[in-house]
Structure 1
Amino acid sequence: MSHYFQTPTGPENRRTVRARFWDTDWTFTTADGVFSGGGLDLGTSVLLRESVPPSGARRLLDLGCGYGVLAVALATACPDAVVDAVDTNERALALCATNAAAHQVADRVVPALPEQVDAGLRYDEIWSNPPIRIGKAALHELLLTWLPRLVPGGVARLVVGRNLGADSLQAWLIDSGYRCERVASAKGFRVFSVTAEGAAS
């Protein structure tokens, strides 16, 4: 398995992929060594199909941004918002910057490694196809790092494969003090709405 959450050392082999969602045709530059470099992955496709862009958002987070599909889409749909695009794969971050520039939202998409993000920032919404394959402990740590950065009343929109532990993750989030509702289920994926109200401090 390619560890797409780590920065690769092999050749990039950049290429162009196309996708359609939100009644728009999109073109993205991808490369080897990043998540779903061959095209829009099914989970992200389900998340986009089952979600609408937030209205009035000022700060958004694409957690595990890959080559920037969610970040670019959110910045395009939310002209008043800045989108932090966070990933541990520096090649993915470079591609995200390339795609943001291509879609003329580079001034509002901020690709960054996790440690580069100001811990004091708070988000109206977090969108993520989280890296389940990093392991349960690391995934839980990731979510407990970023979910508390939601503003009061903020929401995280997560898509998780049913066969990759979506239902157990939902139970864990609830046990951790979050309200986690399944808002859609399609093609083997669950889409969760996770809200900050009642979250353990």
Structure 2
Amino acid sequence: MNHYFTDNRHLAENRKEISFRFWCITYSFISDNGVFSKDNIDFGTKVFLDTLLKREEMGNRILDVGCGYGPIGIIVKKTYPDKLVEMVDVNPRAVLLAKENAQRNNVDVYAHESNIYEQVEGKDYTDILTNPPIRAGKSVIYKIFEEAYERLCKGGSLWVVIRKQQGANSAVKKINEIFGNCDIVNKEKGYFILRAKKY
């Protein structure tokens, strides 16, 4: 099976345009076979964005881990153009789409391939955002949480969206073990938005 968190460039292309209206702005995204939520912007992403951008607590250096074709990082950048936004994904097709979608929506982000943080150089991010690849398994998801701690500056935050039935409660426990804190900042239709702060 060809998962969206692998190198699946050999898959046949089936590009499609997704129109997504958020906060009075209509965004245009190109998706394709082999990327997460290829037919529409998933509900978890909508809840995540709404929660993140209403709080206005994010700092100036943001990393989107597992960016897919780019909606989270691109919309954050569009909302706060002065913030630096970096986006990474292990899937080369997703990264190419994220770059194309950034251009389509007239935002300047840095999108590149990375297996979690392997090709990430910064260690001073104010915020790390992730809609983690649940199908990749707990070992991958927990690695995203664990290594986020060392990539964040003091006072920085890890933000996660995860469904209750896909392990939200165990994610809270794991993040608490790593950070010493984990707040459930929002719940909507089974989706939990989690925030942990590095003190």
Both structures adopt the same fold (TM-score exceeding 0.5): yes
| Structure-1 separation of matches of 2:50 and 2:21 | 10
- Which residue in 2 is equivalent to 1:74? 76
1:22-59 deviations in Å (ceiling 9; x for gaps)? 33221111111000011101111111122216467321
- Which residue in 2 is equivalent to 1:105? 107
- Which residue in 2 is equivalent to 1:131? 133
| Structure-1 separation of matches of 2:178 and 2:157 | 15
- Which residue in 2 is equivalent to 1:116? 119
SS of 1:60's equivalent?
strand
- Which residue in 2 is equivalent to 1:44? 45
User: How many residues are paired up?
Assistant: 195
Q: CA deviation at 1:121?
A: 3.3
SS of 1:176's equivalent?
helix
* Aligned-residue CA RMSD (Å): 1.7
| 2:19 paired with 1:27 | no
Of 150, 174, 177, the match for 2:176: 174
1:146 alignment partner AA: A
TM-score (norm 2): 0.90
Q: CA deviation at 1:83?
A: 1.1
Deviates more, 1:139-148 or 1:29-38: 139-148
2:24 alignment partner AA: D
| Structure-2 separation of matches of 1:76 and 1:127 | 16
- Which residue in 2 is equivalent to 1:6? 6
Contact 1:75–1:109 (Cα < 8 Å) also in 2: no
Percentage of pairs with the same residue = 33
SS of 1:39's equivalent?
coil
TM-score (norm 1): 0.90
| Structure-2 separation of matches of 1:67 and 1:56 | 22
The verdict on how the C-alpha distance between 1:2 and 1:20 changes in structure 2, with shifts beyond 3 A counting, is farther
- Which residue in 2 is equivalent to 1:86? 88
| Structure-2 separation of matches of 1:195 and 1:172 | 14
- Which residue in 2 is equivalent to 1:143? 145
Deviates more, 1:89-98 or 1:58-67: 58-67
1:122-160 deviations in Å (ceiling 9; x for gaps)? 211111111122111222122212232111111122100
Contact 1:17–1:30 (Cα < 8 Å) also in 2: yes
1:183 alignment partner AA: V
1:98-117 deviations in Å (ceiling 9; x for gaps)? 001111223x3333324322
Q: CA deviation at 1:21?
A: 1.9
| Structure-2 separation of matches of 1:82 and 1:51 | 16
Contact 1:4–1:89 (Cα < 8 Å) also in 2: yes
Q: CA deviation at 1:86?
A: 0.8
| Structure-2 separation of matches of 1:59 and 1:78 | 11
- Which residue in 2 is equivalent to 1:156? 158
Deviates more, 1:128-137 or 1:25-34: 128-137
